[in-house]
A and B are shown apart, each in its own frame.
Chain A
Amino acid sequence: MIDRNDPYFWSDLLDTILKGMGETFYTVGLSLLFTVVFGLATGVLLVATESGGLLSKPFGSRALGFFVNRILDVVVNIGRSVPFIILMILLIPFTRMLTGSFIGPTAAIVPLTIAGIPFFARLVEIGIREVPVGLVEAAQSLGATRWTILTKVMVAEAVPALALGLSTTIVGLIGYSAMVGAVGGGGLGDVAFRYGYQRYSPEYMFGVVILLVLLVQVFQSLGNFAARRLSHR
């Protein structure tokens, strides 16, 4: 139980919560970076390797395209279907191998990224599917390479949808990061769990919750704003 009458109570609370927020930003920021890089690639490949897609016959092999597509689809589905709390535990050996530990903000990046990639990949997939096929055809008629079509047509045209997907992913990662916090990943979740729950402090609990609500609002609004500004449809 924390003594509410301690003269340093409120300043301690502020310090603790701000430190937690810093860790959350660190963890979520780096996870997001990896998630975007790999999730974007996975999402694009999911669409492009489909039958009739731009990469349905990589190196002239229809079988390879089909194989890549099925594998990615299954992997993404597995990633999406395992509950995050279980995924986190399953990944402990892997996390330890990569970061040398499975506790702390850096270690938390691993499960967050592994959970984030399939999540973002599906959103990328949806966004790119909305790009009219005719645009790809027009670029083909101009003699564009597949790389040009992927980057300058499919991804470039999906940018507003990707911005929305990105903000949704940030929100998701913030939520997951709170869960990692509860098992030693640091961040706001850690603060809420240790101070709010284990030490019965409603002030800490509400402080964290209010901050999380604000963060989600801010990132979602930023995403919406960016999508509106980037869209010229």
Chain B
Amino acid sequence: MISVSRVSKSYGSGATAVRALDDVSLSVGRGEIFGVVGQSGAGKSTLIRTINSLERPDSGSVSVDGREMTTLAGTGLREARHNIGMIFQHFNLLSSRTVQANVELSLEITGTGRAARRTRALEILELVGLHGKANAYPAQLSGGQKQRVGIARALASSPSVLLSDEATSALDPETTRQILDLIRQLSKDLGLTVLLITHEMDVVKRICDSAAVMSTGRILEQGPVDQLLTTEKSLLGQALFPLGEIPETSSAIVEITFNGVTTDRPVIAQLARKHGIDVGILGAAVETIHGRQTGRTRLELPGDELTVAGAVDDLRSQGLFVEVIK
């Protein structure tokens, strides 16, 4: 649905030039929720803005729903944008318009008639859970409600793609969850493809099917979230399940990633008993990802090399993903 291929973009020139995007490629399938995570300044914002051509890349291609965005201009570009909704960190609602009129703006732009605008606006407001707020002004709403208006405005013209530019970064954790659940629900109900950028790992955890990790203009890794978790030295895995610094110890240290299947089995107790190892737990983190208990545990395995190797093989044979740290 969205395909970004070898896109680069620099700001400034000469010695002070900043490479915001450095040979970035990614692809988002139809109906998929794809998250790009990274620190601020990583180039996420530039990346998402190239998708609807708010930003023009220096090189590379961006295609959305089969349409090449980088060469579009004028009417062609505006029509393509009708198919790509966008929501923002600071909502960007018109303060002079009511909630309903804000949503209708989107339909005024697509040239929808007055009666149809009203019907559609009320319908979509209902869908995002803002029933009864049509005549309120944005200033009278909470942050979560404002973002719902933003979502309604973005989706009023029935686009097939939604871009989310840090849409939950200005919201509290509870509201963030509600908005993310709403996006997930809408994506499912409307077959919407979602590309979101965020610096919050929780967002990836909660709704993303796939993710990419970005740093200084480059994509460091990308793929389906559950696959990334079980990839050796995965940045995403480490970021999602932070286990802290690796302590000084003479024993071997391994990290096990549980991915749904084995959490109901006493893996560690069995390991200790079967191999006669005094297993120490150095850290553990468990999260629900896509409704599955997923987690990572860091274990200390004292004992000679042979015993440790046997234990690791045993764990792997149980279908666990094991990384030997030292």
Q: Is B249 an interface residue (CB 8 A)?
A: no
Chain B residues near A233: list those with CB within 8 A: 95, 139
What are the residues of chain A within 8 A of B79 when measuring CB–CB?
143
Minimum CB–CB distance from B277 to chain A (whole Å) comes to 57
Known: A134-B88, A138-B88, A152-B105. A143 touches B82 (CB 8 A): yes
Out of A137, A144, A230, A231, name the residue touching B92 (CB < 8 Å).
A137
Given contacts A138-B86, A138-B88, 19 further A-B contacts (CB under 8 A): A134-B88, A135-B92, A135-B93, A135-B94, A138-B92, A141-B54, A141-B84, A141-B86, A141-B154, A142-B154, A143-B77, A143-B79, A143-B82, A143-B109, A152-B105, A152-B108, A157-B96, A159-B96, A232-B138
Give, as a whole number of angstroms, the nearest-CB distance from A124 to chain B.
Answer: 16
Q: B52 near A134 (CB under 8 angstroms)?
A: no
Tell me what chain B mostly uses at the interface: helix, strand, loop, or mixed: mixed
| A–B pairs, 21, beta carbons within 8 Å | A135-B92, A135-B93, A135-B94, A138-B92, A138-B93, A139-B105, A139-B109, A141-B54, A141-B81, A141-B85, A142-B82, A143-B77, A143-B78, A152-B105, A152-B108, A156-B97, A230-B96, A231-B96, A232-B96, A232-B137, A232-B138
CB contacts under 8 Å to A, within B131-186, are: 137-139, 153-154, 157, 163
- Choose one: A132, A148, A157, A160; the contact of B109 (CB below 8 Å): A148
Contact, CB under 8 Å: A156 / B96: yes
Q: Which residues of A contact B (CB under 8 A)?
A: 132, 134-135, 137-145, 148, 152-153, 156-157, 159-160, 230-233
User: B90, B96, B108: which contacts A148 (Cβ < 8 A)?
Assistant: B108
* A232 interface neighbour in B82, B105, B108, B139, Cβ under 8 Å: B139
Proximity bits, B66-84, A CB within 8 Å = 1, else 0: 0000000000011111101
**Among the interface residues A140, A143, A232, which one has the most CB atoms of the partner chain B within 10 A?**
A143
- Taking a contact as CB atoms under 8 Å apart, the answer to whether B81 and A232 are in contact is no
- Return the contact of B153 from the options A134, A140, A142, A160 (Cβ within 8 A): A142
Residue in chain A with minimal CB distance to B84: A141
Q: Contact residues of B with A, CB < 8 Å?
A: 52, 54, 77-82, 84-86, 88, 90, 92-97, 105-106, 108-110, 137-139, 153-154, 157, 163
Contact present for B94 and A157 (CB under 8 Å): yes
Chain A residues lying within 8 Å of B138, measured Cβ to Cβ, are 232
Name the contact of A134 in the complex, choosing from B85, B92, B96 (C-beta under 8 A). B92
Contacts of A132 in B (CB 8 A): 90, 92
Contact of B81 among A142, A148, A230 (CB under 8 A): A142
User: What residues of chain A lie closer than 8 Å to B77, measured between beta carbons?
Assistant: 143
